[in-house]
Structure 1
Amino acid sequence: MANKVILEVENLTKYFNTPGGLLHAVDGVNFKVEEGRTLGIVGESGCGKSTTGRTILKLLEPTSGKIIFDGQDITGYSRKQMRSLRREMQMVFQDPFSSLDPRQTVSQLISEPIIEHKLLKTKSEIEKRTLQLMETVGLAERYINVYPHELDGGRRQRIGIARALAVEPKLIVCDEPVSALDVSIQAQILNLLRQLQQDMGLTYIFITHDLSVVKYFSDDIAV
């Protein structure tokens, strides 16, 4: 029996105005993602993979086409409407360093989405949840007051994953989440993501240029 379809993308198009005319970044993309599965999107650099991921989450507005998330057509949703949906659709970025505020400690970075979405009220509840998330992603408690620049790329990416998990999303878009990491660390992060999927029933869109990574990690592959 097929799983429920959590995301359906119909004829998705994203064009950018450039001095040289219209740049066709994404042109007529169609796919479905079933709950609890991983769709790998693979292609060479510059082919529009990351733009597709960002347009699905409406970090970029689509030029045309449809985005249907959990049965709702969200294509025309305003920023305000998307704000309430942000909890359910999260992103793990390629470069963990540039996606984290260097002025915040690990504790502040992980607790920020919890506070932002008003998921817990008391300071002690937030602290407890932050420690739980650190444990979930394999970050030792001793890093709680450390800043991102004091950590290696793998640990910084674990912070990014913990931030995404903090709001208990239904879908996580992983945009080249291991391409900036050493090969040995890549394997650790991929195994962590896979374990989290098994434990929590997460659904992923996994964007990569690396065929071996997509083959290892994905249930379905779009090229």
Structure 2
Amino acid sequence: MLAAVFWSLVPLFSFCGINTDVTQSPYVFVTPVAVPQIFSVIPLFDNIDPHKPEYSLGYYITNEEPQFVGYNLYITFAIPSAGETLSNSNLYLENGVQPSFPALAVQASTANITTHTVANLQPYAPVQLFQKCEVYTFTLRALLNTGITSNMSSPVTRCSTTYPDHCGTDTSCNPSACTVSSCSVSIRDSCPVGTACNPCTKGNQATGCLCPSGQTPPGCNL
């Protein structure tokens, strides 16, 4: 009887330790972090007056990940590469601590715009001011408490003044090609809103040519 039981169990043990060459998949699925978007970037002061340039940044809080802790803002002279933002190059920090703008998932809303005054290119250690008649590019990344960030938002490029036509010719805000009102459509699309080539035709130039509802550039900034 015992012998019969022993030989009936041999086939079960004979397969122990055999590699079936089947790839094992862990039950871990990584969901990409939702990408935020900038609603508006508006320069606050004309560069002719004594005020230094500042910007008003507007965005919706849209991330609902439980680990979401806020948004990181990146400010560059050109559109940043993915490597630049991943390495935290040009990261805007109010007090040296991430995120740039703390937020929580419970604040997510597409009804209320969150706005911040961005007073300096770099506000912390050392402070760097925005320069007059210079063009800057803004992008956002959502940050989780694990250190993971989202892909960067669509970049938004803005001159540091509401009146770029007041800037000297061949400055970043007023390239020579943009000083001609009879410019071509292709040149107009590359000129800052408010120059002779691309005048503010929608909205109010004093508030940055913000597009009215349903309007799109040229002639106004989103």
Q: Per the shorter chain, which TM-score range? A: under 0.3
TM-score, normalised to structure 2's length?
0.25
Mark the structure with the bigger radius of gyration.
2
Q: Whose relative contact order is higher, 1 or 2, with alpha carbons under 8 Å and at least 6 apart?
A: 1
